Chains A and B, each alone.
Chain A
Amino acid sequence: MSTHTNTYPQGDAFNASLKTRYRVATIWQFAFLSALLIAILALTALLYNVVDGAFGYVAYDYKKDPATFTPIPVNELTKEDLLVILKENLSSGAYNKLENEQKLETRTQGELYTLFLERLVQIDTKATWSMTDSLFRSAEIRAEAAEKYPDAQLEFRSWLTPQFLTTPMSSKAEFAGVRTAVLGSLWLVGIAILFALPVGVGAAIYLQEYAPKNWLTNIIQTNINNLAGVPSIVYGMLGLAVFVRTMEALTSGSAFGVTDSNGRTVLSAGLTMGILVLPLIIINAQEAIKAVPDSLRQAAFGVGATRWQTVWYHVLPNALPGILTGSILAISRALGETAPLIVVGASTFISLDPNGPFSKFTALPIQIYQWTTRPQSEFHAIAASAIIVLLVLLLTLNATAILLRNRFQRKW
């Protein structure tokens, strides 16, 4: 019997070993927590990095001195002044081209001023600095700029401006905006959701409410789970082969009399994106439908409802908040996807707004990709601004989803 007391540490010995065990436990707990802290740190660094890039000093130069065009100081130019200056100094060919795009009189002062800087003065960015540098090393930057670019002007600039949102693409970072890209993204997401939402909810209803438990249903379900894990670029290849190439007559619009296009349209891209988010929508809708209690279905069947009446009048209305939340998540995914768009052929330079399903298009993430991979730092600055626009859009969507979820959450 005494083996008991001999094989286990007793008294102080046990207390000492317990202390060690607790110490080890504390160290590990800290290690676990620090993993999360690293994640938080990474997120902070990422957001900081983006904001840091979107604001800061910029050194720029005028190819021609504004004084050669007008005696009025540039920041006091009115719309009328600018109209006159542009009319007098632009070549007639360039002027007529601008007039054809949109009558100059109908443009705003800001737009005319941009034209003035872009076409006549020909502003030229020499260097940019990050926000942090600009704030903390202001003096050094001034010295550096004065030495390297003696003719240049130094100015603290926010690359993210209201104009950035409303101007189309431009080959010069200073004048580029994301309007074309944002509209392209909206078209894209619109088409994707128009296709994927009804089909996805239909599939979810089928699987949850109708499908018999057999091998076919099993295959469908497994297949959907797998499709959710297929790399997005593979969907791009599918879109390229099916929508852009095989179905070119339909997706380019040539079957409907549109001539000025090939299959690389916003319609092809939207459908590709629709196929991509379909599994996501199905899985989320299935969860929402699953959450509707069976007692409700039985109540409906008990008063002689058919299956569709039960689904349409009871299951769907109660699953709707969940379905919508899932759809918003799918929209977020579609909004941020880049790779499939590259493959199905988003245009990298396009300044015309998309005006229909057969338009050529660009999208916000495509612009971010383009600008990020340019070597010039001013393009990195507008990439950062475009990222902020994208993240704000995503944040708004997700906040809506959360609100929706909390508002309609039903406790059964």
Chain B
Amino acid sequence: MKEEALDLKTAKAQSFRQIDLRKKTRLGEGTIQALLFLTGILSIFTTIAIVYELGKEAMLFFADPDVTLVKFFTMTRWQPGIGEYGIVALVSATLTTSAIAISIALPLGLASAIYLSEYASPKARSVLKPILEILAGIPTVVYGYFALLFVTPILKSIFGDGIQVYNMLSAGLVMGIMILPLIASMSEDALSAVPRALREGAYAMGATKLETSMQVVVPAALSGIGAAVIVGISRAVGETMIVAVAAGAGPNFSFNPLDAAETMTGHIARISGGDLSYNTIDYTSLFAIALMLFLVTLVLNLISQWVVNRFRERYE
């Protein structure tokens, strides 16, 4: 019985056509795959092009015998045309406006996220979330208009002559509003990624909703929230139009929010908007600033991505 079964020779022999399974040359498939690969790799070329072009012109800037790294990082005045190369004069404004923006966007964004993720009913969410999305979709130049023609007059009526027409405070505040939706949505993602079981564990021990949210959920989502803040900072540092319109048109080494001062981005926008001729120190200096900007935002974005990925691994 057993032999019969394993032998399997009872079936009658049959003739059948031979099947050819060898690889066919599929020219179309290959071509398409190659093309798709090219489109995929194009983004790498974009990055290479950015680094190469910014680097090349920035090198020309630093190759100028008058420009030294010491001057670049220690002088507090920036006017390459007359031999002043202190990027600090621009960095100070970038730092000030970004700090104001984050100090607005972080508490408001995080609080919004907590409300949306922990408290809001599905119905309330469906109303509140689109509002944040609209806020996120408004072009930054419109925020610039809002800063200069709405927020600045209000600040003027508060601070009187103590505040300049163009000032970092107004730009920073509005930038905070602009970044708020970003921080809110990233934080909300982080909060809702915290497993239900963790919340239930807290509730089962008699914690209130607030205690659960603040002492269990938020700490568990902290790295995700951190990533949101880092991306927010990166966005603030790179933001151009709001500061170009409202913060001031001239480098000014100052950390006083009531002063007018020009950020790195604002400076690039103003100088390149004029009639800029190639191969001048003005031209190359802009690339040096842009390279700084690119590197700073790149590092911030990489850190944030790394944090998010680590966070994701933990809960998936």
State the A residues within 8 Å of B (CB).
Answer: 21-22, 24-25, 28-29, 31-36, 38-40, 42-43, 45-46, 49-50, 53, 198-200, 202-203, 205-207, 210-211, 219-220, 222-227, 229-234, 236-238, 240-242, 245, 275, 278-279, 282, 306-308, 332, 335-339, 342-343, 345, 348, 365, 368-369, 372-373, 380, 383-384, 387, 390-391, 394, 398
Contacts and interface: CB of A to CB of B under 8 A. Distances in A.
Interface string B95-123: 00000000000011111101110010000
Contacts of A238: 46, 49-50, 53-54
14 contacts: A36-B131, A46-B146, A203-B39, A206-B40, A210-B36, A211-B40, A227-B47, A231-B265, A234-B297, A238-B53, A241-B54, A343-B273, A365-B139, A369-B141
Nearest to A372: B145
A28 B135 CA distance: 24
| Residue from the set A233, A365, A391 with the largest chain B CB neighbour count within 10 Å | A233
B43 A45 contact: no
B112 A220 contact: no
Interface in B249-279: 265, 268-269, 272-273, 278
A274 B214 CA distance: 43
Contact of A21 (B39, B43, B177, B211): B211
Interface string B23-47: 0001011001101111111111011
A339 B241 contact: yes
A43 B305 contact: no
Given A36-B115, A390-B139, 19 more contacts: A25-B209, A25-B211, A35-B112, A36-B116, A39-B108, A39-B181, A43-B131, A49-B150, A199-B39, A229-B235, A231-B237, A231-B293, A233-B269, A234-B54, A234-B294, A278-B42, A343-B268, A372-B144, A390-B142
Contacts of A24: 210
Nearest to B237: A231
B140 A336 contact: yes
Contacts of B41: 220
Contacts of B287: 237, 241
B87 interface: no
A128 B53 CA distance: 46
A49 B265 CA distance: 25
A229 B43 contact: no
A398 B57 contact: no
B59 interface: no
B39 A220 contact: no
Nearest to B115: A32
Contacts of A391: 138, 142
B222 interface: no
Nearest to A375: B165
Contacts of B181: 39
B43 A210 contact: no
B67 to A, nearest CB: 19
Contacts of A50: 142, 145-146
B241 A220 contact: no
Given A32-B111, A38-B108, A233 B238 contact: yes
A68 B42 CA distance: 66
